[in-house]
């Protein structure tokens, strides 16, 4: 049995929904369908979710919301008309959209989440109706009924583990179940949304709950590329990735799937496939626990900007028990998360995301390093990018590091720092951001051409 | 003005002392002479220091010490005879050696240090006498008189900073001052020795105190080699090293100078030269604050055995603020000093010296990692060596990492981990110990042949 998630661009129009129908019909194992809100039909279009945000803002500032309501309802109506849907579903959707503007504004910390979730929720109703009119015995199911219980953290809901047991019971149902993605329901019955990439999370949770054989994530690309197509022309698409590889790639710039979304599927040992709604015969990229056969050593190259390094040195640093811990304690006390910590003998670099470092925090870190830990030197280095060469099979191939470092040096790219841990799923280079694109090209040419 | 330290092998016999005399006489700037105890005259000989340890052990277990005393006195007597020294100095030495066996055994935490220090102390008396009989106006000076005040940590004395001010006044004296190395005197007037390499520390302290222009450290090699001569045949000797390079090399197996000995000279901005008593015209290796001219990118390659890695992984590790700090806290609570911490995205390796990890501590670390920090996986990896490619000029040469990694991979050496921080004084590779010698050869050939 398969859990299938469709992204917003796959659900943006009647034409797209016809593809979705065919995909679901073509495989009887596709029993759970997780849907996003309708996405953009073209580059100038507005996403339903963005329209809901506007509607919410007007509503809480007590402005006229009639136009907002009309636009949103019409968006669903257009699709319903094109698909010749029974009018009863549009009556339900219309009522749901209008009723948002009757919810209490004050002391309602879930209001924003409730507005947002309406995009997915109404789309699920529409799609279930469409399926039923076209030969699929489908059942729309609200997350409350499905049993997706979450914590009361608006915009950042966490699944409550008992949900998995309730979800498991759904496997007995005969219908194809259509569940809106992106949100769950709190103990008090409030709508509460997941963080970004939320429909992916719902799919991942449902897949783990019903113990699916496969979680199919339909998007608008033929899977995951070995390097960013904005930098490399027609990069190879990856046939198979492990969860660990996916996570390493996602860390540095690969945003096809939000990495948090992977956790339930990963923990539930559910393999995942990323496929293209517009090209469903393409095998896509499978994400698995362990590679099925011998792979090449490097599966992908990713890079991300926006890193800063705190570089410090102190003579005989490594003789001082607790030195590293004290440095990290300073960061933790300032609520700063660090990414990496390459060390020399008397020096240490702490790599963090730019956004972690406000000017006040920066000053405080330098002050504490100098006065509390008495470093000989401390400085901040900005405009760094992290470059990752990823592949689980690296460990069985001597020379991947040499090949990567040579490719960089031959292209005059200076390696600022390197960190390669024992896992050897990746080698991490820190480079200057202005050399990033050249670095990706150099590595892609070395490993994939 | 120069501070000159002579090691034990440079002071082992009359022949050696004649060389020392000529070295001191040949340069009027050589005003402070720091001496070790007489070393071995040949490979089967006993060091005076080792004889003193035996003497101490027999004394505290109330055995007969006559033979020990006789051997030690005779050792100095032989030198004195060969050099035709005035007998009064031997009377003083004899008295000093015999009087050790009158010191209180109980409640005397400085007894061992006092025995040990006698090797240097008596040698300083002998050498001052020899200098005076041969045209050098020399003055033996006990560390107490010189003002070398230290903390009361037997075997691990730390200099008390006010010592530097007292030492500075010695620059006014006209004589060549001969000071025994290896020990200072506590506030209570007790003899207290430095840690290993102690005469080097005295030299370094005196050089910093008297603000010497140069600290000359005479030993029995023509300076520092670019790689271990036991592994590489006739390796290049290094002309100039910075303190930072020396420290990086010393970290992993280069033991010409004990790195702690470098601190006072480094902090006092005193350049240091390592020279050969048996070949004083050889320029030796200068250790300076900054390179005097453009150097090649790599100055040396060192390696050290006896490392263990604690490898751990946890999904979404880097999202958890304080994760790294908590791991290091576990180590610190167990009084374990860590060396390096290369990281991937969801994994981290903590490299420590083998000696830090007793079986009980190992079990405790794994227990806490699994239960307190809930890592997905934790394992211990042994028999690792650290390989360092060192050179301050690396940072201006793109491609050093590539060259090093290529040399290793071409010789089938698997790189287990890498850490290269922002300082770029060194690149650190972790490899399996059984591949160490091959790795050094590969790197030496790549950078020095």
pLDDT in tens, B370-409: 999 899 899 999 999 999 999 988 877 778 889 999 999 9
Mean predicted lDDT score pLDDT of chain A: 92
- Contact status, residue A181 vs residue A199, Cβ threshold 8 Å: yes
Q: Which pLDDT score, from 0 to 100, does residue A196 have?
A: 65
> Per the structure block, which two tokens stand in for A61?
């500032």
B298: closest CA among B369, B201, B396, B367? B396
CA distances from B164 to A288, B152, B160, B171, B172 (A): 65, 18, 8, 12, 14
Report the alpha-carbon distance of residue A117 to residue B144 in Å, rounded.
81
Report the alpha-carbon distance of residue A445 to residue B412 in Å, rounded.
23
Residues in A touching B341 (Cβ below 8 Å): 324, 341, 343
* B interface test, pick of A327, A420, A439 with most B CB neighbours within 10 Å: A420
Token pair 């979450």 is found at A150
Q: Which pLDDT score, from 0 to 100, does residue A79 have?
A: 97
Report the residue from A318, A322, A342 with minimal CB separation from B420. Answer: A342
CA distances from A201 to A1, A82, A172, B386 (A): 18, 30, 22, 42
Mean pLDDT within B189-203: 90
> Per the structure block, which two tokens stand in for A260?
């948090």
| pLDDT above 80: residue B251 | no
| pLDDT above 80: residue A133 | yes
| pLDDT above 80: residue A162 | yes
> Per the structure block, which two tokens stand in for A1?
């049995």
Mean pLDDT within B113-119: 97
| pLDDT above 70: residue A256 | no
Nearest chain A residue to B314, by CA: A244
Q: What number of other Cβ atoms are within 10 A of residue B268's Cβ?
A: 17
**Contact: A421, B417; criterion CB under 8 Å:** yes
- Mean pLDDT is lowest, of A38-52, A225-239, B139-153, B414-428, for B414-428
> Where does the pLDDT of residue A244 fall: very low under 50, low under 70, confident under 90, or very high at 90 and above?
confident
Q: Which pLDDT score, from 0 to 100, does residue B421 have?
A: 73
Phi (first) and psi of residue B421, to 5 degrees: -85, -175
Nearest chain B residue to A246, by CA: B345
The answer for residues whose C-beta is within 8 angstroms of residue A368's C-beta and 6 or more apart is A330
Mean pLDDT within A360-364: 93
Mean pLDDT within B70-92: 97
Mean pLDDT within B43-72: 96
Residue B362 distance to chain A (closest CA, Å): 17
Mean predicted lDDT score pLDDT of chain B: 92
Distance from the Cα of residue A377 to its chain's centroid: 38
Q: Vertex B425, ends B421 and B431: CA angle to 5°?
A: 70
CA atoms within 13 A on the CB side of B333: 11
| pLDDT above 70: residue B336 | yes
The answer for residues whose C-beta is within 8 angstroms of residue A14's C-beta and 6 or more apart is A78, A79, A82, A83
**Contact: A415, B401; criterion CB under 8 Å:** yes
**Contact: B347, A423; criterion CB under 8 Å:** yes
**Contact: A328, B328; criterion CB under 8 Å:** yes
Q: List the CATH code of the domain at A2-220.
A: 3.40.1160.10
Residues in B touching A413 (Cβ below 8 Å): 398
| pLDDT above 80: residue B75 | yes
Report the residue from A329, A403, A405 with minimal CB separation from B325. Answer: A329
pLDDT tens column, B338-374: 888 888 778 889 999 999 899 999 999 999 999 998 9
Please give the CATH topology (third level) of the domain spanning B300-448. Answer: VC0802-like (3.30.2130)
Residues in A touching B331 (Cβ below 8 Å): 325
Q: Which H or E run contains B286?
A: strand B285-288
Report the residue from B324, B339, B398 with minimal CB separation from A318. Answer: B339
> Where does the pLDDT of residue A262 fall: very low under 50, low under 70, confident under 90, or very high at 90 and above?
confident
pLDDT tens column, A26-75: 999 999 999 999 999 998 999 999 999 999 999 999 999 999 999 999 99
**Contact: A247, B346; criterion CB under 8 Å:** yes
**Contact: B344, A428; criterion CB under 8 Å:** yes
Nearest chain B residue to A416, by CA: B422
Report the alpha-carbon distance of residue A38 to residue A403 in Å, rounded.
45
Residue A373 distance to chain B (closest CA, Å): 15
Report the alpha-carbon distance of residue A45 to residue B223 in Å, rounded.
74
Report the alpha-carbon distance of residue B246 to residue B225 in Å, rounded.
11
Strand order in B138-140's β-sheet?
B138-140, B176-180, B30-35, B2-6, B214-219, B272-276, B285-288, B240-242
Task: Please tell me whether residue A430 adopts helix, strand or coil conformation.
Answer: strand
Q: Which pLDDT score, from 0 to 100, does residue B131 have?
A: 98
Residue B35 distance to chain A (closest CA, Å): 26
Residues in B touching A300 (Cβ below 8 Å): none
| pLDDT above 80: residue B257 | no
Q: What percent of chain B lies above the pLDDT cut of 70?
A: 98
Residue B400 distance to chain A (closest CA, Å): 8
- Contact status, residue B49 vs residue B40, Cβ threshold 8 Å: no
Q: Which pLDDT score, from 0 to 100, does residue B449 have?
A: 86
**Contact: A332, B339; criterion CB under 8 Å:** no
Cα dihedral sign for B203, B205, B206, B208? positive
- Give the residue ranges of the annotated binding site of B: 5-8, 49, 120, 219-220
> Where does the pLDDT of residue A419 fall: very low under 50, low under 70, confident under 90, or very high at 90 and above?
confident
Nearest chain A residue to B250, by CA: A345
Report the residue from A328, A344, A349 with minimal CB separation from B426. Answer: A344
Residue A316 distance to chain B (closest CA, Å): 8
**Contact: A311, B423; criterion CB under 8 Å:** yes
Residues in A touching B398 (Cβ below 8 Å): 409, 412-415
> Where does the pLDDT of residue A339 fall: very low under 50, low under 70, confident under 90, or very high at 90 and above?
confident
Q: Which pLDDT score, from 0 to 100, does residue A188 have?
A: 94
Q: Which pLDDT score, from 0 to 100, does residue A251 have?
A: 74
| pLDDT above 70: residue A417 | yes
Report the residue from B266, B311, B414 with minimal CB separation from A398. Answer: B414
| pLDDT above 70: residue A18 | yes
Q: Which pLDDT score, from 0 to 100, does residue B249 have?
A: 84
Token pair 């300082």 is found at B423
> Where does the pLDDT of residue B198 fall: very low under 50, low under 70, confident under 90, or very high at 90 and above?
confident
The 3-class secondary structure across A264-299, one letter per residue, is: HHHHCCCCEEEEECCCCCCCCEEEECCCCCCCCCCC
Report the alpha-carbon distance of residue B156 to residue A421 in Å, rounded.
35
- Contact status, residue B142 vs residue B105, Cβ threshold 8 Å: no
Distance from the Cα of residue B145 to its chain's centroid: 25
Token pair 């060091």 is found at B47
DSSP structure string for B300-341 = EEEEEEEEEEEEEE-TTGGGSTTHHHHHHHHHHHTT--EEE-
Nearest chain A residue to B249, by CA: A345
| pLDDT above 70: residue B253 | no
pLDDT tens column, B204-236: 999 999 999 999 999 988 888 899 888 999 898
- Contact status, residue B180 vs residue B139, Cβ threshold 8 Å: no
| pLDDT above 70: residue B148 | yes
Mean pLDDT within B295-311: 91
- Give the residue ranges of the annotated binding site of A: 5-8, 49, 120, 219-220
Residues in B touching A337 (Cβ below 8 Å): 318-321
Q: Which pLDDT score, from 0 to 100, does residue A253 have?
A: 65
**Contact: A332, B338; criterion CB under 8 Å:** no
Q: Which H or E run contains A76?
A: helix A66-82
Phi (first) and psi of residue A162, to 5 degrees: -65, -20
Q: Which pLDDT score, from 0 to 100, does residue B294 have?
A: 73
**Contact: B322, A332; criterion CB under 8 Å:** yes
> Per the structure block, which two tokens stand in for A167?
């979800």
Q: In chain A, where are the structural domains located?
A: 2-220
Residues in A touching B267 (Cβ below 8 Å): 315
Output B193 or B251, whichever has higher pLDDT: B193
Report the residue from B346, B405, B428 with minimal CB separation from A344. Answer: B428
> Where does the pLDDT of residue A255 fall: very low under 50, low under 70, confident under 90, or very high at 90 and above?
low
> Where does the pLDDT of residue A167 fall: very low under 50, low under 70, confident under 90, or very high at 90 and above?
very high
Q: Please report the ipTM that was assigned to this predicted complex.
A: 0.73
- Give the residue ranges of the annotated binding site of A for substrate: 49, 120
| pLDDT above 90: residue A247 | no
Phi (first) and psi of residue A64, to 5 degrees: -70, 130
A178: closest CA among A8, A31, A26, A22? A31
The answer for residues whose C-beta is within 8 angstroms of residue A234's C-beta and 6 or more apart is none
Q: Which pLDDT score, from 0 to 100, does residue B256 have?
A: 66
Strands, E assignment, A38-100: none
DSSP structure string for B24-36 = HHT-TTEEEEEE-
- Mean pLDDT is lowest, of A153-167, A387-401, B92-106, for A387-401
> Where does the pLDDT of residue B195 fall: very low under 50, low under 70, confident under 90, or very high at 90 and above?
confident
Mean pLDDT within B149-165: 94
Mean pLDDT within B94-99: 98
């Amino acid at each position: 049995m398969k859990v299938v998630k469709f992204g917003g661009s796959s659900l943006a129009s009647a034409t797209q929904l016809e593809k979705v129908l065919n995909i679901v019909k073509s495989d009887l194992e596709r029993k759970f369908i997780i849907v996003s809100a309708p996405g953009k039909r073209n580059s100038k279009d507005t996403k339903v979710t963005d329209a809901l945000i506007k509607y919410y803002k007007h509503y809480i500032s007590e402005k006229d919301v009639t136009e907002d309501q009309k636009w949103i309802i019409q968006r669903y109506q257009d699709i319903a008309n094109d698909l010749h849907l029974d009018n009863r579903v549009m009556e339900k959707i219309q009522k749901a959209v209008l009723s948002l503007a009757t919810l209490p504004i004050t002391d309602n910390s879930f209001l924003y989440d409730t507005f947002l979730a309406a995009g997915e929720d109404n789309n699920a109703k529409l799609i279930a109706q469409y399926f039923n009119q076209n030969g699929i015995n489908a059942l729309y199911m609200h997350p409350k009924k499905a049993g997706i219980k979450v914590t009361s953290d608006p915009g950042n809901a966490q699944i409550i583990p008992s949900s998995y047991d309730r979800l498991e019971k759904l496997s007995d149902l005969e219908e194809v179940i259509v569940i809106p993605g992106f949100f769950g329901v709190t103990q008090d019955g409030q709508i509460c949304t997941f963080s970004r990439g939320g429909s992916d999370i719902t799919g991942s949770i449902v897949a783990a709950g019903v113990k699916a054989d496969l979680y199919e994530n339909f998007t608008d690309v033929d899977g995951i590329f070995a390097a960013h197509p904005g930098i490399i022309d027609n990069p190879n698409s990856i046939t198979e990735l492990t969860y660990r590889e996916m996570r390493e790639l996602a860390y540095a710039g690969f945003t096809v799937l939000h990495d948090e979304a992977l956790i339930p599927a990963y923990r539930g040992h559910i393999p995942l496939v990323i496929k293209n709604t517009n090209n469903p015969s393409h095998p896509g990229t499978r994400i698995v626990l362990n590679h099925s056969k011998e792979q090449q050593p490097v599966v992908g190259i990713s890079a991300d900007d926006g890193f800063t390094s705190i570089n410090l040195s102190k003579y005989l640093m490594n003789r001082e028990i607790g030195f590293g811990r004290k440095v990290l304690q300073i960061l933790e006390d300032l609520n700063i998360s660090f990414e990496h910590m390459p060390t020399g003998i008397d020096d240490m670099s702490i790599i963090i995301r730019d956004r972690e470092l406000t000017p006040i925090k920066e000053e405080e870190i330098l002050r504490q390093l100098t006065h509390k830990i008495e470093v000989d030197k401390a400085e901040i280095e900005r405009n760094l990018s992290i470059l990752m060469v990823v592949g689980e099979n690296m460990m069985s191939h001597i020379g991947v590091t040499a090949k990567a470092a040579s490719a960089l040096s031959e292209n005059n790219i200076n390696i600022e720092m390197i960190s390669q841990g024992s896992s050897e799923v990746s080698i991490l280079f820190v480079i200057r951001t202005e050399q990033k694109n050249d670095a990706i090209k150099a590595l892609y040419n070395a490993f994939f051409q």
